[in-house]
Amino acid sequence: MALPVGRGMFTLFSYHPVPTEPLPIPKLNLTGRAPPRNTTVDLNSGNIDVPPNMTSWASFHNGVAAGLKIAPASQIDSAWIVYNKPKHAELANEYAGFLMALGLNGHLTKLATLNIHDYLTK
């Protein structure tokens, strides 16, 4: 669950998005190996008791890492930010992190007032 933090540092400001394409956000890999037998452990399988919101912060940081790879000199606008809004509610944590990263980069100043109102009313 710490991989997004490292990916955010490694890819910082290295991506110039195309305005007609959504930003690719890689999926979190919650599979690992447990020694000494090297058995595969998957936190999404349901075989291990984990809290229901255990991956919320990891998903948020995954969105922050995806947003931080956008270069500050990129030509993104309000329509592109809204275009990247996920259709599924399960990706809300990643999109919240993505919005935070856009704010850290200074890209949220390009968001239209009407769109800001829509975000704040929810």
| Nearest by Cα to 92 from 74, 119, 111 | 119
Residue 45 has pLDDT above 80, yes or no: no
Which structural domain range is residue 46 located in? 7-121
Residue 58, domain member (yes or no):
yes
Residue 55, domain member (yes or no):
yes
Residue 42 has pLDDT above 80, yes or no: yes
Residue 31 has pLDDT above 80, yes or no: yes
Instruction: Pick 92 or 44 by higher pLDDT.
Output: 92
Percent of the chain with pLDDT over 90: 64
Q: Provide the total of helices (H) and of strands (E) in the chain, helices listed first.
A: 5, 2
| Nearest by Cα to 2 from 82, 80, 65, 72 | 65
The domain total for the chain is 1
Residue 1, domain member (yes or no):
no
Residue 2, domain member (yes or no):
no
pTM: 0.87
Q: Give bridge partners of residue 15 from the DSSP assignment.
A: 70
- For the segment 20-24, the average pLDDT, to the nearest whole number, is 93
